[in-house]
Structures are given as structure tokens and as C-alpha cells.
Structure 1
């Protein structure tokens, strides 16, 4: 499989915290990877949700997502794929519906985890680092806590995955990535930045993924006052990456949306409006 989004999505639930002095046996590590959803299904499982047909060859595709241009009940926008995080995991269902007098994306999760993703090859982060979007969450996931591995779910996320120089990482991080590639047969992203909805951490908090330092989550909305209504958000991805990772970002390899409840086993419903990129504000 070539270097596509399918490879990048595997980072979501990385459960590997090795160092040069402590490397678990292969069978133990493989079990941990499977349990935490690292291994991406290499082929779309039967019954998995299909995306729209690809755009015509040579036709330029603007970065972002114009869900409002779609038809309720119709196909997802071209170039977007609903990707499972691992074999055996139930998939979140993504569909176009009408809400607030517009066509939007609805995400329904029930003990499930899959992400609606797009390749990052149409995004120039240097020229258009500002991302703007809307989302609405029906209700919090009561047991969710993004700082705790067994509770690491969120009703709404906006996700960016990045390339980078792995030689700059610690020996332990490089060991984990090489081992994951050996077991899964795929490369992991250099870094992943998420904007999340949280009911446990204040807005503005940078939450470290409980399994790996290569995933950072920035809380942009949450709490009881933020449920049941549309929220309009805008962030400078370039600046946020530098703040979270203490370095400048490389190119974006993939971006997308994720509503997941696989760790808590709960349910969640969220709606996403159009995603747009523009110059820094």
C-alpha cells in the first residue's frame, strides 16, 4: 500500500510506550496494538461506508470540505473516505443531512471509531494556515476523558496529520514507530494535531495523548453550555502546531473529522459544517 491516509489514520490510538531499555516481546506488543486500535484495516471491510467517486483526473480540488454543496442522503464529497482505525472496530457512520437550513455532515458513533479523512496534498499550510469550521454536539460523552487511555473519546474532532524528520525524535519514539511499522507494515505520521470537544478540560488546554507524545489535542469547545447549538470556530493550524510541538510544522499529509466512542462504549452524535482554509488572521 502506498503512503496514503490509510497509513496516517493508525496513529489515533497508539498504545506503545517503549524505550531503548524496555522492548516488549513481539506477541505482547502486537496484542497491545490490536487492543488499542493501532492496526488499520488494509482493505475496507464489507458493509463499510463508501465515499463519493474521485474527482475527474486533472480537476483541481480546493482544500477543505463543502458539505453544504452536497445533497442530503447523497454521496460524501469526492476525496473523503470513512476509514476504520482497526479491524474489528465498528465504524462511525457519516452522512449528509439537513440542519440549520443547510446540508451538513452528521456523525453517529455507537461504541465505534472511524474517521472521515482527506489527503493533505491539496493544502498549502504556509499560504492558508487559518482553518474555519462549524460543529454541533448533541450531548457530551459522560465517561470521556482525553487524558486517560481507557476513556479517550470525543464527540467531535478536527484532525491534522503531518510529515516530519523522524531523526529529530527520541530513541524511544523512533523505536516505537519502527516497531509499529514492522507489525503493521505501514508508516505512522510524524505528528498529529487535533482540535477537540471536551467536557473535562477547559477551552485552550493542550492535552497530551495518553499513549504517545506525537499526538496533541487542543480543546476548542466543550461543557454543557456548548451542547445542542452550532459553534463557529477558527484556528491558525501553523501557530497551534508550533505551540503544541515546539517546532514548525512540515507538510500536512491528511486532515479530517473524527467522532469516536470506542473506548467508553458510549454513543455520540455530532454535526459538522463546511471546512475552509484561508490566510492568517
Structure 2
């Protein structure tokens, strides 16, 4: 997971392209400091006790890097968070890679309750006191049925607004790189500039 700033959307620093660039980056997590084969909540992350929590995580080698593998079972949640104190004005872009092996048949951001079960999701939270009722969270989701580009507030948690960045089975089983301008998404949803620390889930 990488928070990026400046430069164009297609210009970024990476191990494959180490050439100088005007695009700075703040690495939230790339799993290289986590031991391969580690099971459970990764070092530096915190488990979120939301509902029936089940933390079936494993750090695995993939190509030249490492990934976090999550096995999810029906009726269980697996949510972890890592606080990243980032100046969102300086680092407005979020980049991550994900791979969904099996799509949830209960995934539809447009519907609440039992049929709102996304296959994969990344949350960016902007804390505001009191946090449980005033914090603002953008949830970037891979949904089964809701079309890409859908923006909708959660029916279950009033502080969360979902953005569907990928939908359906066309790309499942593949590693996909996503890039979002979090600052622009925040302004579109809330009509003002973001501020405060960022929490990535």
C-alpha cells in the first residue's frame, strides 16, 4: 500500500523504475518487513473487533515481493488497521494492489444488511472527535454487483461512504493495481478539504 503525492498518475517511484521523479511516496505497508509464513495479525497492525472477527491472515512470497493473504469465511469479518500520520495535502494519492480469488455472492454496496459483503476493501479514515460518530471514512471496495464508480453511504455505519473501484468477476484471480486521489474523493463526498491523520484499514 503506497500513499503518493505530486507528479502525474502514471509517473511513480518503484523498485522497477528507480529513476528520479517529482513524485514522492509514503509507504504505508509493502509487507517486506513481515516474515514469510507469518500467521495472524501482521506486525504493526491492529485487529478491529467488528462483529464476528476472524483473523485468517498469512504473509506469503509472491514474485519478488510479499503479499498478505486473507481467507474469509461466511459470517466472519477480518479487519485490521494501521495508523499512518500523513499530510493528505502533500500525499493525496493512494495506490495499492489486490487480488480476489473468489467473489462474495453477497456483495452489493447498494444494499445493506446481509447482502453487503464486499470481496475486498480498503478504508481510509479521517478521525474527528468524538470518533465513533464524527470520523469520516472512505471505503474503496471490490464489489460483486454494484457498478464501478458507485458512491454510496453505508446503511449500517453512518461514518462510512463506499466508492466501488472494481466490480464483478472480469479481473478476479489477477493482481490489479489501483490508484485513487483520496483528496479529490474526499472533496467530492464531503464538499470540503480533508484534514487530520489518516488510518488505513
Partner residue, 2:36: 72
- Alignment length (residue pairs): 173
Partner residue, 1:158: 122
Structure 2 runs not aligned, ≥5 long: 1-25
Classify 1:212/1:113 alpha carbon distance in 2 versus 1 (closer, same or farther; 3 Å): closer
**Which structure exhibits the higher relative contact order, with contacts defined as CA atoms closer than 8 Å and separated by 6 or more residues?**
1
Partner residue, 2:154: 209
List structure 1 segments (4+ residues) > 4 angstroms apart after TM superposition. none
1:241 positional shift: 1.0
Structure 1 residues 125-148: Cα deviation after superposition (integer angstroms, max 9, x where no partner): 111111111000012111222222
- Alignment check: 8 A CA contact 2:93 2:181 kept: yes
> Within 5 Å, which residues of 2 pair with 1:213-252?
213-252=158-197
233-242 vs 96-105, which moves further: 96-105
Partner residue, 1:4: none
- 2:50 is aligned with 1:85: yes
1:82 positional shift: 2.3
TM-score (norm 1): 0.56
- 2:88 is aligned with 1:125: yes
Classify 1:243/1:225 alpha carbon distance in 2 versus 1 (closer, same or farther; 3 Å): same
- 2:137 is aligned with 1:192: yes
Classify 1:96/1:189 alpha carbon distance in 2 versus 1 (closer, same or farther; 3 Å): farther
In proportion to residue count, which structure has more helix? 1
Classify 1:136/1:128 alpha carbon distance in 2 versus 1 (closer, same or farther; 3 Å): same
Structure 1 runs not aligned, ≥5 long: 1-61, 167-176, 178-185, 257-281
> Within 5 Å, which residues of 2 pair with 1:143-154?
143-150=106-113, 151-154=115-118
In proportion to residue count, which structure has more strand? 2
Partner residue, 1:97: 60
1:84 positional shift: 2.0
Secondary structure in 2 matching 1:241: helix
- Alignment check: 8 A CA contact 1:160 1:252 kept: no
239-248 vs 77-86, which moves further: 77-86
Q: What is the distance in 2 between the residues matched to 1:191 and 1:226?
A: 29
1:247 positional shift: 2.2
1:119 positional shift: 1.6
Q: What is the distance in 2 between the residues matched to 1:74 and 1:212?
A: 32
Partner residue, 2:20: none
